[in-house]
Structure 1
Amino acid sequence: MAFPRHEKVLTALKNRGRYRSLMPRAGHDFASNDYLGLAGDDVLRDAAAAALARGVPVGAGGSRLLRGNDKEHQLLEAEAAAFFGTESALFMGGGFNANLAIFSTLPQQGDLVLYDALIHASTHDGMRLGRAQTRAFAHNDAADAAAQLAAWRAEGGDGQVWIAVEAVYSMDGDLAPLKALKLVADAHDAVLVVDEAHSTGVFGDLGRGLAHDIASAQNVLSLHTCGKALGASGALICGAGVLIESLINKARSFIYATAPSPLNAALVRAALRELQDNPERRIQAWDGIYHAWAEAERLCGLSGFKSQILPVIVGADKPTMKLAQGLQERGYDIRGIRPPTVPRGASRLRISITLNTSGEVVTQMFSDLAKLRGAA
C-alpha cells in the first residue's frame, strides 16, 4: 500500500535538511540529559537489585486507580513532597504526560494560561486539550507577562490565571526570572507553574530546582522529571494537595494510563536519596559546567551560557547538520536541533555537559568545533 502524501512530506523534510532518523548511541556524551551521570551508575543498578530482591514488581499491571497503585509509588510521592517542600506529589509516567495532565485539567473554562513564548511542546499540547484561553508573553519577560495579564483582564477576562514557564529552557539553557514571575503571580492571584525538567538535580539546594525557595507556596506548582538528572524515568508533579487530588480525579493522561513501573519508582527514590546523601556529585557536575563555559569562550569565542545546556546557534538547517556530522565523525555525540523544535533560522548544536564526559574530552571537543567552524 502506498502513502503518497506521507512520502511527499518526508521528501520535503529531506530536501530542507529537517529529516529525522533514529541514531544509535556513539561517541562521547554531549547529547543526553543525564546531567549527574546517574543513568548508568552503580547507585541505580544497586537500587534496582535491592528492589527486585525485596519483591518490588517490574510492572504495575494496571492504572493507579485500579490495581496498579503500588506502595513504591506512594512512598516516592511522600518522599518527593518532603524533598521538594510541597504539600503533595503525584508520580506519572513522564514529563510529557505530566504537562498534558496539568494543562488539560487544572485550568478551567474562562481561565487563562499565560505561557512563555518558548515553552515546551508538551505544554502546548496540554493547552490544546484544555478549555482555558491561552496567551503568550515574550520569553523570560516578567514585565510583558504582567502586561499581557492586565490586557486580558481589561478585555473582560475574570477567571484564574496560570503562568507557565520552564525553570531552565531546554534548547537555550537560560533561566526563568522566577522571583519576578512570582511577584506577578502574587499581585494578580495567579498560579505559577514551573517545569523544572532541566533544573532538577542541578540547580537549587541539594538539586531541588530553581523554584525550591517558592515551591511551598499555594500558588506554585512544580514539575520534576525523573529521566534527566535523576537517571530513571517518570515525572513528579508537586504542589498543593487540592491540585494533586484534582489531577487524580480528572486528568485523563493519569486516569487512563497504566501506572509507571513500581521498580522505576524505587529507582527514583534512590536517586532522590543520592541527591541528599552525596551533594559532592552536584558540585562535581558544576565544576564540569564551569570548565565547559571557560573552554567554549577560550577556544570558540562563545559566551553567555547560564546552565549545563550550551546552544551553539548556526542558523540554517543544512549547515547545522553538516557541523553536527563533522563532530560526530570525530567521536562526539552532538546533535543538530532544527525547527519546529527551535524557531526558524535558529538551528543549532545543543551541547549538553554531563558527568559522563571528562574535562579533557570537553576541551578537545571545543578545539575541534573551532576548527570545523573556521573551515565552514
Structure 2
Amino acid sequence: MAGAFPRHEKSLEALRSRGRFRQLMPRDGHDFASNDYLGLAGSDVLRTAASDALARGVPVGAGGSRLLRGNDAEHQRLEAEAAAFFGTEAALFMGGGFTANQAIFATLPQQGDLVLYDALIHASTHDGMRLGRAETRSFDHGDAADAGRVLRDWRAGGGTGQVWIAVEAVYSMDGDQAPLEPLMALADAEGAVLVVDEAHSTGVFGDLGRGLAHGIANRPNVLSLHTCGKALGASGALICGQKVLIETLINKARGFIFATAPSPLNAALVRAALQELQQNPARRDQAWQGITHAQAEARRLCGLEGFQSQILPVVIGDDKRTMGLAAAMQAQGYDIRGIRPPTVPRGTARLRLSITLNTGAEVITAMFEDLARELEASP
C-alpha cells in the first residue's frame, strides 16, 4: 500500500539517491563538529552559573513574550551588559541567531531600500529578505569592489533608498573573513548600513572575543549580531546597534513580538559567558593555540592550507564521496560531519572541521594523520 504522502516519499528517495539525505546523529567521538569553540557549553563555568541563578530565583521559563509578562530582569541585565561589552548603544536578546537574522532583514530594510548581500550569506538572512519589502542583490563572495559595483549599478538604475550591506564576519562553511575595512569604507561613502553577523567570530576574534567588527561596532551605520549558542556556550542571540534600530525591532519584528521570550535562566548563562570572556582571556588564548596547531597539522599532513579561522573546510566536491569520508572518520572515533548542498554550493561538498577547546593537540594530530590516509584511499 502506498504511503499517505507519496510526493514527500519520492522527494526523500531522490535525496537518498544523490547522497543528500539527512538524518539526526548522536554525539559520538572527538568533537570536530560543534561550534562550542571555547568549550563553555559543558563547562563548570556555566554549570555554576546555572546553579547560582536557580538559587537566587531566576525562572527557567519566561511564561510569555517580552512585551507581555515574559520580560525578566535577567533579560534586561544581559542587554545592558552586552551593549557595554560590545560597545554599542543598545542590545536586544532573542531566542536564536536564525530568528534574529530573520527579524533584522524582514523588519529594518524598508520598501525602496536595497539589501546588498554577500553571495555566501547565511540562510537566515535569505529568509529574512524574502519576508521583507526591500530589493535584494548579491555581490561576489568576499569582494568589496564587486559590492561597490552592484551598489552603483542600483543607484544608476534609479535606486534612492537606504542600502544595507549584509556580511558574515567569519563564514560558517568556509571559515574565511569578510573584508570589513573596505566594506566599511563603502558604507561610509554611500550612506549605507553595514550589518555584520559575528556568529562565528564572537568569543574567538577581537579584543576579549568581542568580534571582528568591534572597532566599528559603535558607529551609527553598523549593526552587529552575536549569537550565544556557539563560543558563548548557551543559546540565543544579541542584536547590537543604535537604539532606534533596537526599538524598531521591539515594535515591528514579528519574530520578537509574537515569540515567547528566551529563558531567563539562559540569559543568566549568557551573562556568565560574557563575564568569562572578560575575566579569563587565557581561555581564548588556549583556543587559539589549538587553532594554530590544527592549521599547521592540516598543512603538514594533508597539504591543506589557506585557513583563516577555527573552521577548516576540506572541500571534496562529490556528495557521496564526502559522506563516505565522514563515515570513515566517524568509525575511527572522530565526530566529523559532511556538508552538502544546499548548505554549500553545488560541487563543493566538504568535511567541515571545527577546532574547539573540547579536543586537545594530540587528538588533532592523530585526526589529521587518519584523514590523510582516508583522503589517499578514497576513490
**Normalising by the residue count of structure 2, what TM-score does the alignment of the two structures yield?**
0.99
Alignment equivalent of 2:79, drawn from 77, 80, 84: 77
Which ranges in structure 2 are unaligned for 5 or more consecutive residues? none
Give the superposed CA RMSD. 0.4
Indicate the residue corresponding to 2:206 in structure 1: 204
Alignment equivalent of 2:50, drawn from 48, 51, 59: 48
Q: Deviations over 1:118-174 (max 9, x none)?
A: 000000000000000000000010000011000000000000000000000000000
1:288 is displaced (CA, Å) by 0.2
1:135 matched to 2:137: yes
Q: Deviations over 1:64-98 (max 9, x none)?
A: 00000000000000000000000000000000000
Indicate the residue corresponding to 1:161 in structure 2: 163
Indicate the residue corresponding to 2:310 in structure 1: 308
Counterpart Cα distance in 2 of 1:133 and 1:124: 12
Alignment equivalent of 1:334, drawn from 336, 356, 359: 336
Indicate the residue corresponding to 2:323 in structure 1: 321
3-state SS of paired residue (2:84) = helix
Indicate the residue corresponding to 1:365 in structure 2: 367
Counterpart Cα distance in 1 of 2:192 and 2:246: 17
Q: Deviations over 1:268-317 (max 9, x none)?
A: 00000000000000000000000000000110000000000000000010
Indicate the residue corresponding to 2:176 in structure 1: 174
Counterpart Cα distance in 2 of 1:264 and 1:375: 45
Counterpart Cα distance in 1 of 2:129 and 2:374: 41
**Normalising by the residue count of structure 1, what TM-score does the alignment of the two structures yield?**
1.00
Which ranges in structure 1 are unaligned for 5 or more consecutive residues? none
1:4 is displaced (CA, Å) by 0.2
1:217 matched to 2:219: yes
Indicate the residue corresponding to 2:193 in structure 1: 191
Counterpart Cα distance in 2 of 1:31 and 1:228: 11
Deviating above 4 A after TM superposition, structure 1's stretches of 4 or more consecutive aligned residues are none
Counterpart Cα distance in 2 of 1:127 and 1:301: 39
Alignment equivalent of 1:352, drawn from 348, 354, 358: 354
Indicate the residue corresponding to 1:116 in structure 2: 118
Q: Deviations over 1:197-216 (max 9, x none)?
A: 00000000000000000000
3-state SS of paired residue (2:201) = coil
Counterpart Cα distance in 2 of 1:234 and 1:161: 27
Counterpart Cα distance in 1 of 2:154 and 2:311: 34
1:12 is displaced (CA, Å) by 0.2
Query: What amino acid is aligned across from residue 73 of structure 2 in structure 1?
Result: K
1:242 is displaced (CA, Å) by 0.2
Percent identity between the two aligned chains: 79
Query: What amino acid is aligned across from residue 109 of structure 2 in structure 1?
Result: P
Counterpart Cα distance in 2 of 1:180 and 1:236: 25
Alignment equivalent of 2:15, drawn from 6, 13, 33: 13
1:2 is displaced (CA, Å) by 1.0
Alignment equivalent of 2:95, drawn from 82, 93, 96: 93
Counterpart Cα distance in 1 of 2:182 and 2:216: 12
Query: What amino acid is aligned across from residue 33 of structure 1 in structure 2?
Result: N
